[in-house]
Amino acid sequence: MTNVNEKHKDTVFTFLFSNPDLLRELYSAIEGITLPPDVPVNINTLSDVLFRTQRNDISFLLNNRLIVLIEHQSTINNNMPLRFMIYASKLYQLMTDPEDKFKRRLEKIPKPEFIVLYNGEDNYPDYKELRLSDAFMKTDKIKIDTPLELVVQVYNINKGRNKEILGKSRTLDNYSRFIDKIREYQKEYQLKYKERKEILDKAFRSAIKYCIKNNILKDFLRKHGSEVINMLYAEYDPEVEMKVVREEALEEGMEIEREEVLNLFEQGLSVEEIKERLQQKNTVRR
């Protein structure tokens, strides 16, 4: 089962790892195991989770027994446990027969695992767990055990962090080095140029050229260089992000001004948080 929304804007990370062999390598590195090449990996990345233009980054069914959901983030979103719960619920709904939940016999379902790979510039530990229960409101007058829990494993994949994991996944290590090289060139070109678009363009192209020369994601960047640059613009340039958000909001029939989107960006909200805020606002208006 694969339900991909063609209008979704891929990131370099999701584009790179939308491959069963690389997902097998990535998961093996994170878990410290070795998965044989014949272990089946079925990609089932979602679209239409909350509304038409949103999907999770990567999800796949491993050996028909384990659902692995992976999100890649440059800013930590503490609401990831809630988002993962919604993603998992949708996956189970799509994977099971509607009549299964009414049967007396216990129906077995794949076990879920939730992973965030962080490569932002803020200081963050190598590993941290985010729990759904942290979001629950206090019930001081009612003593009750938490009946529902969801744990998200967050790994810092920046260059020099989690060396054991990066050492076991060459692709993830090369991705980390590629992003680090982009940041390095950005800082260099900020001293030479004023226009942000020019800085980004030169940083992206210089990083790609350097990585191809030094055998870092060489084949991938040679084959998909122009696509990667377009994806990087959407990831790094707020103006592009704002344009995408506004266009998608208009497609959904929302009344939204550029200034409104800009204001939300200035509040420090992520693209997905802005989309959720606009969706909620549009629902109230209706």
pLDDT category, 13, cuts 50, 70, 90? very high
Give me the pLDDT at residue 21, please.
Answer: 95
Phi-psi region at 162: left, alpha or beta (left = phi > 0; alpha = psi -120 to 50) = left
Q: What is the mean pLDDT of residues 80-94?
A: 91
Domain membership of residue 164 (yes or no) is yes
- Its domain, for residue 281, covers 240-285
Q: Which residues of 89-102 are buried (b: 16+ CB within 10 A; e: fewer)?
A: ebbeeeeeeeeeee
Q: What is the pLDDT of residue 265?
A: 62
Same domain, yes or no: 57 and 149: yes
Give per-residue pLDDT as tens, 242-262: 666 667 666 666 666 666 766
Q: Considering the domain boundaries, does residue 173 fall inside one? A: no
The answer to whether residue 161 is domain-embedded is yes
CA distance 110 to 150: 15
Domain presence at residue 108:
yes
Residue 187, domain member (yes or no) = yes
Ranked by mean pLDDT, the top range of 44-53, 85-94, 205-214, 239-248 is 205-214
> pTM of the predicted model, to two decimals?
0.78
- How far is the C-alpha of 98 from the C-alpha of 284, rounded, in Å? 31
Rounded average pLDDT over 196-211? 93
Instruction: Say how far apart CA 183 and CA 202 lie, in whole Å.
Output: 11
Number of folded domains that form the chain: 3
Shared domain check, 101 and 22: yes
Question: Going by DSSP bridges, is the β-strand pair 66-73/111-118 parallel, antiparallel, or unpaired?
Answer: parallel
